[in-house]
Amino acid sequence: GQQLNQSPQSMFIQEGEDVSMNCTSSSIFNTWLWYKQDPGEGPVLLIALYKAGELTSNGRLTAQFGITRKDSFLNISASIPSDVGIYFCAGGGTDKLIFGTGTRLQVFP
């Protein structure tokens, strides 16, 4: 079945640093989405991408839909303590989403 490889699995960074994470797949997707999950909460949609090559920003977050449609990255600039959480990528086909295993981000002051 379709699988997503999300990396890194975890990151420990200092406040103010930039962060980059990515997802790759052997399959082509029509949609790439990035979610964040805070402890004890459900995932919340951060950015949705619908076109190959699309680059979209949401505040300090920037995500891109890879030109091959098999990958996507998420960048967070100037990290702050509330960026802590688990970030999930999700690739969408015609009818379902496949989720990555998540990147756990820790930010130290």
Partner 1 sequence: ETGVTQTPRHLVMGMTNKKSLKCEQHLGHNAMYWYKQSAKKPLELMFVYSLEERVENNSVPSRFSPECPNSSHLFLHLHTLQPEDSALYLCASSQGPGVSRPGELFFGEGSRLTVL
**Member of 13, 31, 54, 84 binding partner 1 (CB under 8 A):** 31
Instruction: Read off the DSSP letter of residue 71.
Output: E
**Member of 8, 20, 28, 50 binding partner 1 (CB under 8 A):** 50
Measured from the CB atom, the residue of 82 and 95 that comes closer to partner 1 is: 95
Contact 78, 25 (CB under 8 A): no
Q: Does 100 bind partner 1 (CB under 8 A)?
A: yes
Which tokens go with 95? Answer: 């009818």
Contact 88, 41 (CB under 8 A): no
Q: Does 10 bind partner 1 (CB under 8 A)?
A: no
Measured from the CB atom, the residue of 79 and 91 that comes closer to partner 1 is: 91
Hunting for tokens 């979209």 — which residue is that? 56
Measured from the CB atom, the residue of 9 and 20 that comes closer to partner 1 is: 9
Q: Does 85 bind partner 1 (CB under 8 A)?
A: no
Contact 74, 47 (CB under 8 A): yes
Q: How far is the CB of 32 from partner 1 (least distance, A)?
A: 9
Contact 36, 46 (CB under 8 A): yes
